[in-house]
Amino acid sequence: MAFPKGFIKNIKLSKTKVGFPRRQELLDNITNDGTFLPRGVGTEDMDREFLDFIKDDLEITIGGQRVPVIFLTTQRWNEFSKTWQHSDKYKNIKLPFITVVREPDVQFGTAQDNNWNVAQANNHYIHLKVATFEGGRKGVDLYKIPQPTAMDIKYDVRLFCNRMKDVNLFNTLIQKKFNARQHYLFVNGHPMPVILNDIGDESQVEDFEQRRFYIQLFNMQLLGYLLSEEDYEVVPTVSRLRITEEIMVTTIKPTITFDKVKEVETICLYFFIKKKVRSQFKFTVEFDSHYTRIDTDNLSSVSFLVNNISKTLPFDVRSGDKITVNFVKETNNEASFNLNGILL
């Protein structure tokens, strides 16, 4: 479909997110593959994303044909510049075309905010806290990742053409793309800036059998980083335990067991008392804990005996202690209370 002259294309009708919504959008892009951990990043991933950037975002069409893009290493560039294999069946050079050459001397990258790791510390940092629930135990898994290893990769992008009009077309496209000095690539969802360092000219007249042609050089630098999925850590933790016990008409002996977990912080014992239940029950604890607060519903008073010794909040219990709970209801309806504390 041909558009009439002066027809404006590619108009953005949706408002771009800024501030916190934009940061949340970037985080969602990193983990949009269905996992809580970000995808790893390697050198090949950055090369592939940069090449797609040149092919797609900097795509130009000359004479109704899309200008081809050729990715070369430094060694292949030396061979290519001598043989010029990009030619037609008559061995004539086909112009225009674009070459992308990655410089092999990858440098240690620019530190983010000038912050560096502690030497030989191998620290892992919390990326995300994921809530878990298993067998009545509420907890949190900590997803930890190391600080990525920064690296700067330089690319030489060259446009070969035989008309200054084509040079102006490609140069204008790049100037607009880098009008904020940098343009972001999303390598496996990770935003990485590309900076336009320099624009040069390598045009020569004596090559191609005295054919006049232009070589416009654009030196770009990708401020990337490496992130290996093998270095990720998932640390299970528990932030709160909730134990539910139902008090029947007859005396019961509740059994409470715990698995061994890391970084246990708080515990909550929940007691539900049915109608016509007498005002006392007993149980034996199997864990060390320290209780500091009680929340009641339909109870006028609650008192505790630990090994037949009266206790008031706060108080400690040890594994094997006998706890007697005496309570008085406000009405004859169902009642409940929470006993909150921490595990010792």
Query: Residue 305 maps to which CATH number?
Result: 2.60.120
What mean pLDDT do residues 261-283 have? 72
Q: Give the chain's length.
A: 344
Whether 262 is in a domain gets the answer yes
More confident residue, 325 or 19: 325
Cβ contacts of residue 163 below 8 Å, gap of 6+?
214
What's the Cα-to-Cα distance from 21 to each of 28, 82, 301, rounded to whole Å? Answer: 10, 51, 49
DSSP secondary structure code for residue 188 in this structure = T
pTM: 0.56
Whether 15 is in a domain gets the answer no
Give the whole-angstrom CA distance, residue 317 versus residue 282. Answer: 14
Q: Which domain holds residue 328?
A: 239-343
The answer on pLDDT for 148 being more than 60 is yes
Query: Residue 75 maps to which CATH number?
Result: 3.30.2000.40
Only one residue has tokens 């108080």, namely 315
Which of 53-62, 124-133, 230-239 has the highest mean predicted lDDT (pLDDT)? Answer: 53-62
Whether 197 is in a domain gets the answer yes
Q: Which residue type is seen at 249?
A: V
The answer to whether residues 80 and 191 belong to one domain is yes
The answer to whether residues 141 and 237 touch, using CB atoms and an 8 Å cutoff, is: yes
Lowest mean pLDDT among 132-136, 227-231, 287-291, 304-308: 132-136
Give the whole-angstrom CA distance, residue 335 versus residue 121. Answer: 53
Whether 40 is in a domain gets the answer yes
Which of 20-24, 27-31, 53-57, 297-301 has the highest mean predicted lDDT (pLDDT)? Answer: 53-57
Residue 256's pLDDT band (boundaries 50, 70, 90)?
A: very low
Task: Please tell me the predicted confidence (pLDDT) of residue 50.
Answer: 92
The answer to whether residues 211 and 255 belong to one domain is no
Tens of pLDDT, residues 162-209: 888 888 999 999 999 998 888 999 888 888 899 999 888 887 655 545
Give the whole-angstrom CA distance, residue 278 versus residue 288. Answer: 28
More confident residue, 164 or 236: 164
Whether 130 is in a domain gets the answer no
The answer to whether residues 249 and 186 touch, using CB atoms and an 8 Å cutoff, is: no
DSSP secondary structure code for residue 87 in this structure = B
What mean pLDDT do residues 14-36 have? 68
- Please state whether the peptide bond connecting residue 236 to the residue before it is cis, i.e. omega within 30 degrees of 0: no
End residue of a domain, out of 203, 231, 259: 231
The answer to whether residues 226 and 243 belong to one domain is no
